[in-house]
Structure 1
Amino acid sequence: MDKPFEDHGLFSWCELMTKDFDSSMAFYNKVLGWTLREVPGRNNSRYALVMNENSSEPFAGLLTMPEQLEKSGAPSFWQAYVTVENVDQTLATALEHGADTVLPPMDIERIGRIAAFRDPQGAVMSVITYQRDNK
């Protein structure tokens, strides 16, 4: 599964931003049989890695919704990331073609660089460039 973390344009990660972390963990464990392993989160958030019964490698994450987003009235939602060669360049190209910035480029320690935009039809896409030494 290394290719999604390297190849430009491939979906590589999903995260659930949830208002009720414990209930979400219990729900997905019961419904899909996922194993969820809580790890240290960032900025006082809670985070869990998601694995299925056939793999010990995580394929997704759950995190507590950031306060700013929760205050906006956003519901809990799944967010997908697409690997890109350069987050800043990809965001600039998206903006040139009618997108709006949802999350400006930012670095995530030990992971890489992310950004998010809303396409002209209103769909939100998150992009990521992974640190090369993270794999």
Structure 2
Amino acid sequence: MLTTRYVPGTPNWLDLGTPDVDAAVAFYSAVFGWRVQSAGPESGGYGFFQLDGKTVGAVGPLTEEGASPAWTAYFHTGDADATTKAVEQAGGAVRVPPMDVFTAGRLAAYTDPTGADFAVWQPGDVPGLELVMEPNTLCWTELYTTDVAAAKGFYRSVFSWSFQDLPMGGDRFYSIVSSPGGGEGEDTGQGGVMQLAEENLAAGSASEWHPYFGVTDCDATFAAALDHGATVLIPPVSAPGIGRLAMVTDPAGAPFALIKGDPEMT
């Protein structure tokens, strides 16, 4: 379960790169009730999505040449430079080398060996997201990958993640991700890793990390997203023991998922 008691390897930040920040703010405000607070005149248009005055994510213009609109998951690190070396040694690519963000913290961004982009955040004045596991906030991260064995080996090497494999029928399984350092007896699952199906690979699907936002009514939030320009990826479906979930792309094309969890999101 996600928490704001961050330890190395756990999700601690999330931001959206988009070609039209104002349009993105309007969409997510309508769907989740978020408001945006500018990070300041020197931030290049970057701002913080907030709910009830607490930061739940961030948004900014696309800065990398050829980048597509997307949410980026950040994972906690105590040393971005050391993590960068670990990423390189494990076969990943460095997209953005470690850099200070004023006094807020230090970030770096990478691509794993299967092609999925992700980043790390080394806290300074900003520890990370202020609110998770509440309605309309981040509650899960999920990697769809072209090579689940390679992905698991990479993240195990970089973050010391452990994986619990749950059968999905046939030879497919879903791997629950946990980081070391969680509290004894706590649910330390923070995300999942899943192999892309053959039909998805044949259609050209690529490895991607997706955020899941918890909601109180998956169908209603899904309908609101479509009303404001989202496109359907997966319509609402019930998963026994998990909840009701759906996946869409926002009007600019960034994918994200919704989940009415069972029993976390009441």
TM-score range, shorter chain: 0.7 to 0.9
- Report the counterpart of residue 257 of structure 2 in structure 1: 126
Question: Distance in 2 between the 1:11 and 1:133 partners?
Answer: 12
**Within the alignment, does 1:46 sit opposite 2:173 as a pair?**
yes
Q: Structure 2 length as normaliser, TM-score?
A: 0.46
After the TM superposition, which residues 1-135 of structure 1 pair with which residues of structure 2 at under 5 Å, given as runs? 1=2, 4-5=132-133, 7-42=134-169, 44-55=171-182, 57-132=188-263
SS at 1:22 equivalent: helix
SS at 2:189 equivalent: coil
Note the C-alpha offset of 1:92: 0.8
Letter matched to residue 247 of structure 2 = A
Query: Runs of 5+ in structure 2 lacking a partner?
Result: 4-130
Q: Which moved more, 1:106-115 or 1:64-73?
A: 64-73
Letter matched to residue 159 of structure 2 = L
User: Percent identity over the alignment?
Assistant: 29
Note the C-alpha offset of 1:68: 3.0
Q: Structure 1 length as normaliser, TM-score?
A: 0.87
Query: Runs of 5+ in structure 1 lacking a partner?
Result: none
Aligned length: 133
Q: Which moved more, 1:101-110 or 1:43-52?
A: 43-52
SS at 1:95 equivalent: helix
Question: Distance in 2 between the 1:19 and 1:133 partners?
Answer: 30
Letter matched to residue 30 of structure 1 = S
Question: Distance in 2 between the 1:43 and 1:128 partners?
Answer: 25
- The higher-RCO structure (CA 8 Å, 6+ apart) is 1
Question: Distance in 1 between the 2:264 and 2:139 partners?
Answer: 16
Q: Which has the higher helix share?
A: 1
Question: Distance in 1 between the 2:264 and 2:170 partners?
Answer: 23
Question: Distance in 1 between the 2:201 and 2:132 partners?
Answer: 30
Note the C-alpha offset of 1:66: 2.5
RMSD: 2.1
Question: Distance in 2 between the 1:67 and 1:106 partners?
Answer: 21
